[in-house]
């Protein structure tokens, strides 16, 4: 028999899931306690009692988005050998996600960065933390590829990570705004050019 605690946890998960879907489709600013309550058939006070303020709901959505992104992109790539195979797996999964036309997979970090670029507060702080942690994860993986001898020792790591992130952001725009049917192929070609310039002779094929 389901306990009260389990029901409360299930309700909280449903609230965050509904809010995450709204944010992916309409942006973080679309979130309101009332609208989430309406979609789930709950009272506004019932939503508030579980997540707190609208701002706290937005932060909870960002935390859940981060968890799902890690599970979809980074966790599977960790099964690959350390070095270039792992870095390549991360980037290819990331590029596939960027060029997926399913709006439910919209990058909340990228969209949110434009929504909150000139604002201050906990939501912007959480967005910034998420973006910086993703870059840090990329940086670690690039450094591991250098240590493994797969990428050049003199590679400008910061520039390389910047270009990886910029490629992802550009593909999101061309996928969703320009609706370029060849965007995924263009992204893979760009990534392979970046790798060709950074590889060593010891790099795995």
Percent of the chain with pLDDT over 70: 98
Question: Is residue 45 over pLDDT 80?
Answer: yes
pLDDT tens-digit profile of 84-109?
999 999 999 999 988 887 777 788 88
pTM for the whole structure: 0.87
CATH of domain 55-198: 1.10.357.10
Contact between residue 39 and residue 57 where contact means Cβ atoms under 8 Å apart: no
Higher pLDDT, 127 or 106: 127
SS3 199: strand
Q: What is residue 2's predicted lDDT score, i.e. its pLDDT? A: 57
CA nearest neighbour of 172 among 89, 120, 91, 110: 110
Q: What is residue 49's predicted lDDT score, i.e. its pLDDT? A: 86
Average pLDDT taken over every residue of the chain: 91
Count of residues in the chain: 205
User: What is the mean predicted confidence (pLDDT) over 97-122?
Assistant: 85
pLDDT classification of 4: cutoffs 50, 70, 90: low
Three-class DSSP labels, 134-189? HHHHHHHHHHHHHHCCCECCCCCHHHHHHHHHHHHHHHHHHHHCCCCCCHHHHHHH
Q: What is residue 203's predicted lDDT score, i.e. its pLDDT? A: 78
Question: Is residue 1 over pLDDT 80?
Answer: no
pLDDT tens-digit profile of 151-198?
999 999 999 999 999 999 999 999 888 889 999 999 999 999 999 999
Contact between residue 71 and residue 57 where contact means Cβ atoms under 8 Å apart: no
pLDDT classification of 56: cutoffs 50, 70, 90: very high
């Amino acid at each position: 028999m389901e306990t009260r605690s389990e029901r409360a946890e299930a309700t909280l998960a449903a609230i965050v899931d509904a809010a995450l879907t709204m944010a992916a489709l309409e942006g973080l600013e679309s979130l309101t306690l009332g609208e989430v309550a309406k979609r789930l058939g709950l009272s506004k006070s019932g939503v508030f009692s579980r997540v707190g303020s609208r701002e706290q709901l937005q932060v909870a959505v960002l935390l859940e988005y981060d968890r799902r992104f890690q599970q979809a992109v980074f966790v599977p790539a960790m099964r690959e050998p350390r070095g270039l195979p792992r870095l390549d797996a991360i980037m290819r999964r990331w590029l596939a996600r960027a060029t997926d036309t399913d709006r439910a997979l919209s990058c909340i970090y990228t969209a949110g960065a434009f929504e909150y670029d000139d604002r201050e507060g906990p939501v912007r702080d959480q967005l910034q933390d998420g973006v910086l942690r993703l870059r840090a994860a990329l940086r670690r993986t690039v450094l591991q590829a250098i240590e493994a001898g797969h990428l050049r020792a003199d590679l400008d790591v910061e520039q390389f990570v910047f270009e990886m992130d910029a490629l992802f952001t550009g593909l999101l725009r061309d996928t969703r705004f320009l609706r370029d049917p060849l965007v995924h192929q263009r992204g893979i070609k760009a990534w392979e050019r970046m790798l060709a310039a950074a590889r060593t002779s010891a790099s795995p094929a």
